Amino acid sequence: MEALPRTVELFYDVLSPYSWLGFEILCRYKNIWNINLHLRPSLISGIMKDSGNKPPALLPRKAQYLARDIRLLRQHLQVPIQFPKDFFSVILEKGSLSAMRFLTAVNLEHPEVLEKVSRELWMRVWSRAAEKAGMSMAQAQGLLGKISTPQVKNQLKETTEAACKYGAFGLPITVVHLDGQTHMLFGSDRMELLAYLLGEKWMGPVPPAINARL
């Protein structure tokens, strides 16, 4: 008898490039490993404030490292990620509140397209090309009209607070629930450790079954 799928939660924000990388790896493995993947749109600014952390891009040496790191990871992970020209205005001034409220509304109303819509938002922020996520304009407009509703605001707040309770100090975090224990892993580079915890096989960031489709 096959064991029941383990619950894995991914808390993410579309402003976080590493969230995109972690998201893509988990989406590639969700049908290979015995897991139920729960996507949890969260607000990185709320987590930073709650933990006393600051965005890495605010520290010049970290910002330089980040730019080089993302270029390498783009090739290694096969995710079309690149820094926006107006990086600082996108990341630090505009923030992600409305985008993450939008994804929260999608999750409440149409959870089946949350993965596609999240990817579309990352494509818009972090890549020049943007493919349509398959939502009609009427659906999208309807959800945009809901981003200021108390239900959506409260849900995003609750999800962000849940991430903080797990010990988040940035995003992404992956939370795995195993045998009554909870393990929180930070960053997109802990997926091999996640495989170890799950007792699953790690086949690199682009597993062979996926590689054939890319």
**Active-site annotation holds for 96:** no
Question: How far is 188 from 190, CA to CA, in rounded Å?
Answer: 6
Question: How far is 107 from 114, CA to CA, in rounded Å?
Answer: 6
Given 16, 19, 96, 118, the catalytic residue: 16
The closest of 44, 51, 85, 54 to 67, measured between CA atoms, is: 85
**HEC readout, 154-204:** HHHHHHHHHHHHCCCCCCCEEEEEECCEEEEEECCCCHHHHHHHHCCCCCC
Q: Residue 40 in 3-state DSSP? A: strand
Query: How far apart, in Å, are the Cα atoms of 130 and each of 30, 100, 119, 212?
Result: 23, 18, 9, 22
Structure tokens at 84: 């926006």
Return the active site residues: 16
